[in-house]
Structure 1
Amino acid sequence: MNPSIVPDFPSGLPFEQARAIVAAVAAAQRLPSQTLALARAHGHVLAQDVVAPMALPSFDNSAMDGFAVRHADLATDADSALQLVGEQFAGHSLGLAIGRRQCLRITTGAPLPAGADAIAIKESACVDGNRVVVPAGSVRPGAHVRRTGEDVRAGDRVLEAGWVMSPARIALAASLGIGQLEVARRPTVAVFTTGDELVEPGMALQPGQIYNSNRELLMGLLRGDGLEPTAWPSLADDPARVASMLQDAASSFDVVITCGAVSAGEKDHIPALLQHQAAAGRGRMHFWKVRMKPGMPLLFAQLERAQLLCLPGNPVSVLATYLTFGRALLDGLQGRLEPRPHWHARLASAFDKRHARREFLRGRLLPGADGTLQVAPNPADGSHRLAAAAQSDALIVLPEGEHAFVAGELVEVLPY
């Protein structure tokens, strides 16, 4: 640990305890809601329950093209001839009715005429002038009739606060005539990468320099989660400049995410900087260091109005900490109640875990020959090995404690 840091905040936390702190902070800092038109509400988190103002369907109607009939008029052991007395198409109700041994031509979605209780489909019936012959036993009671409220009843709670508005949920709101929704405002996010060694892709490298991959990794993850992050210029290893830039961002954004300068090296200025700001009353240290691999130096703090999530600099650490802590923070700020997908799969090969921390391996999900989901661990487990992350599509979650995992053992997986 940097000798200038005397920790008066939680440090070296178990994974679940750190996650609980993130959840509690996010819940206390919930973002306000806003009203958006349906077309703009896709992917947002619903902030208010939606109660159906009407039934779906709102009237009895036909599910097929054919003929509206009275089931009592149909014989079970012989064909039945009915008188065709009119037609009802979708779009406008004509207020029609049928009587004994009568039928009405009808199209899909058209209102069911009074007296009718079933539909004889067009393909089965035979039309002869104003007579329609229905084959014996071809129509069951209530066949192809959509009843009022069979999908949704007026007053039903159809969408719940905390749900993410998927296309199907947006479509349900539209079908109820709802033109706008109350949703959580999405957090504004600033992204920083740090290090004298960083060079932007496309530029020439000098000895000792590396290309800045973390910015694209983080920006892509955030955009994939529906956010519009702002990338700030990479920060040199200059504590005064780091302090000034973070202070500027923290006064303007809801969340600031940094990569690098967060461990205990000579150039890792962020922990001491944030502790100094907290001591001056401008922020708070929530925790530093989590017992996880990769990603142990993770730091979570508040500076001015912003929550700061300071990730380690190795790219796989960035991936693991964003998927496990970054998403938890951003989801919590928006009041998302639906959990992110986490599945279970069987290991396609053995893995020997020889440390006590919770570990997140890169792996590729595969369909097993027996129909079960399998996951193949990538043997390249170094936190700097980005190619292994690119070849994978999930993190394999290995719980705390040493353990020799055998092929076929059930493990938790987090899809990217």
Structure 2
Amino acid sequence: MRDDVPMQLAFDDAQAIVDRVAAQHRMPVERLALARTHGRILAEDVIAAIPSPPFDNSAMDGFAVRHADLAGQGDTTLPLAGEQFAGLARDLVLAQGTCIRITTGAPMPTGADTVVIREVVRDEGDRIVVPAGIVAGANVRHAGEDVRIGDTVLDAGCVLTPARVATAASLGVDQLSVFARPTVAVFTTGDELVPPGMPLAPGQIHDSNRELLMGLLRADGLEPTAWPALPDNPERVESVLRDAASSFDLVITCGGVSVGEKDHVPAMLVAHGEIHFWKVRMKPGMPLLFGTLDRARFLGLPGNPVSVFATYATLGRRLLDGLQGRTQPRRAFRAQLAAPIDKPHARREFLRGRLDAGADGVLRAWPDAATGSHRLHAAARADALIVVPEGPQQLPAGTVVDVLPY
């Protein structure tokens, strides 16, 4: 290994390198119809060209009135002077001492400033009887009260949730500029790996990392491509990975990145690419390898399944977010430890745990006692990663810690 390869990085330093490389290789921008933008990352601010609501309108079915016509005490009788329904502005003018029947979303007649809901009036056909106590301006939605012309309604870098896409639609926007999705190639490595459903010979295990990583990527909106497991053959590893790196934006491998006799991936990347860092002071997942190979960013994850999960959730997902220009932070919480944690080592640790809010409304994190990086079942019964800071730590129950929900 070359002397200039950054190794044994602090976790924060590794994050900073991931951010820098991702920013240098951001995905191109494409303009898509609204229906195709859900879940994507917005590439340009959206500025309102029209107000929302676009005109004063009724928030309820009822009767448009002048509040000044209503008696302060007792009932008020008003003759019905017309009807205004949603969808067609009739340019009605409300005469003093009258009312107009109106439906939800219909434009307010000129002169009207209040809507009395139909449930509180006595409808007598050609007139209504309004009780006392109606608040001035009740049930009226004013033009621009949600969005004014020139407002920035969506910021570049945000995730386009259904509500955000709908906001764009409400302002007449039919297309949005978004960052392209990275193409991702996924590889698992090791002679010991056998696909689920196939019989195991002595010394073999079923390949769980493939399904784990493919599922994580799909949950993040990507459409990854997976190959059969690579054998522990350096020529085969080099040939297949270099071929993938010439066609994909990101190549992810699981296994083969440590210092064992069969760990061929780091040497391949030294010979044919660039290593941005190798090994991070984190647990699980220390052998993490990050680099560039041909046109692709290259992420070499450790082989143990919990290490795959932790490194993807903390650094792999961060890389993908950066490539897509996401500036909106991922959700994170603070929670009280429900049980003590004693960590003797210096690395930042990501413990599996469960989150639970009790009757007191306090969010608590329950660490899982199964801490081995091979304990996939323990990861499956958890729903969060509990972040334990660098350095030896003795954290009693009740300590407030950062947690990353699955």
Is TM > 0.5 for Structure 1 vs Structure 2?
yes
Hey, which bits of structure 1, 4+ residues long, moved more than 6 A? none
Matched position secondary structure for 2:306: helix
Supply the AA of the counterpart residue of 2:357.
Answer: P
Does residue 288 in structure 1 map to residue 288 in structure 2? no
**Counterpart in the other structure of 1:186:** 181
1:215 aligns with 2:210: yes
Distance 1:121 1:238 in 2: 77
Q: 2:21, 2:125 → 1: CA distance?
A: 74
Pair 1:235 & 2:230 matched: yes
SS in 2 for 1:8: coil
Match for 2:13: what amino acid?
Answer: Q
Q: Following the alignment from structure 2 to structure 1, what is the Cα–Cα distance between the partners of residues 70 and 2?
A: 88
1:201 pairs with 2:191: no
* Residue in structure 2 matched with residue 381 of structure 1 by the alignment: 371
Aligned partner of 1:335: which letter? G
5 Å matches for 1:144-155?
144-155=139-150
Instruction: Find out whether 1:75 has 2:71 as its counterpart.
Output: yes
Q: What one-letter code is carried by the residue in structure 2 that aligns with 1:249?
A: A
* Whole-Å separation in 1 of the counterparts to 2:147 and 2:279: 49
**Residues 335-375 of structure 1, C-alpha deviations (whole Å, 9 max, x = no match):** 00011111111111111100000001000111134211001
Write the distance in 2 (CA, Å) between the matches of 1:46 and 1:264.
Answer: 41
Secondary structure at the residue paired with 2:119?
coil
- 1:260-275 map, 5 Å: 260-275=255-270
1:412 match: 402
Q: Which residue of 1 aligns with 2:380?
A: 390
SS at match of 2:269: helix
Question: What amino acid is the match of 1:114?
Answer: T
- SS of the equivalent of 2:68 reads helix
Take 1:398 and 1:120, find their aligned partners in 2: how far apart are those partners? Answer: 58
Asked if 1:35 corresponds to 2:31, the answer is yes
CA RMSD of aligned residues (A): 0.7
By how many angstroms is 1:6 displaced?
A: 3.3
Deviations 1:281-302 (A, max 9, x none): xx21100000001100000010
Q: Which deviations, in whole Å up to 9, do the C-alpha atoms of 1:23-49 show, x marking residues without a partner? A: 000001111110111111000000000
Counterpart for residue 338 of structure 1:
328
Counterpart Cα distance in 1 of 2:3 and 2:284: 22
Question: What's the offset of the Cα at 1:133?
Answer: 1.1
Aligned partner (choices 365, 388, 403) of residue 393 of structure 2: 403
- Aligned mates of 2:113, 2:329 — CA distance in 1: 44
Structure 2 residues not aligned, in runs of 5+: none
Q: 2:19 aligns with which of 6, 20, 23?
A: 23
1:259-318 deviation line (CA, Å, top 9, x unaligned):
0000000000111111111xxxxx211000000011000000100110001000000000
Any idea what SS the aligned residue of 2:168 has? helix
| Structure 2 CA distance for aligned equivalents of residues 349 and 128 of structure 1 | 68
Amino acid at match of 2:32: L
**Worse-superposed segment, 119-128 or 223-232:** 119-128
Distance 1:256 1:187 in 2: 10
Name the CA distance, whole Å, in 2 between partners of 1:11 and 1:136. 77
Identity of aligned residues (%): 65
Indicate whether 1:66 and 2:66 are aligned: no
Amino acid at match of 2:389: P
Which of 217, 220, 225 is the equivalent residue of 2:220? 225
Secondary structure of 2:53's aligned partner: coil
1:55 to 51, 55, 59: 51
Distance 2:106 2:322 in 1: 45
Paired residue for 1:101? 97
Distance in 2 between residues matched to 1:62 and 1:319, nearest whole Å: 51
Instruction: Give the TM-score, by structure 1 length.
Output: 0.97
Question: Which of 5-14 and 257-266 deviates more?
Answer: 5-14
Normalising by structure 2, report the TM-score. 0.99
Aligned equivalents of 1:130, 1:15: Cα separation in 2? 75
Structure 1: distance between partners of 2:145 and 2:263: 62
CA distance in 2, matches of 1:250, 1:22: 18
What letter is aligned with 1:201? Answer: P
Residues 91-120 of structure 1 deviation map (CA, whole Å, 9 limit, x = unaligned): 101111111101100000111000100001
Partner of 1:161: 156
Deviates more, 1:207-216 or 1:119-128: 119-128
**Alpha-carbon separation, structure 2, partners of 1:7 and 1:221:** 34
Secondary structure of the corresponding residue to residue 322 of structure 1: helix
User: Take 2:32 and 2:26, find their aligned partners in 1: how far apart are those partners?
Assistant: 18
Q: Tell me, in whole angstroms, the C-alpha distance in 2 between the residues paired with 1:203 and 1:379.
A: 32
3-state DSSP of counterpart to 1:318 = helix
3-state SS of paired residue (1:123): helix
The match for 1:247 among 235, 242, 254 is 242
For 1:122, the equivalent position in structure 2 comes to 118
**Matches of 1:368 and 1:136 in 2, distance apart?**
45
How far off is 1:396 after superposition?
0.5
Question: Unaligned regions of 5+ residues in structure 1, if any?
Answer: 278-282
Aligned twin of 2:291: 301
SS of residue in 2 equivalent to 1:256: strand
**Where does residue 358 of structure 1 map in the other structure?**
348
After superposition, what is the alpha-carbon deviation per residue over 1:180-221, rounded to whole angstroms, capped at 9, x for unaligned? 110000100000000000000000000000000000000000
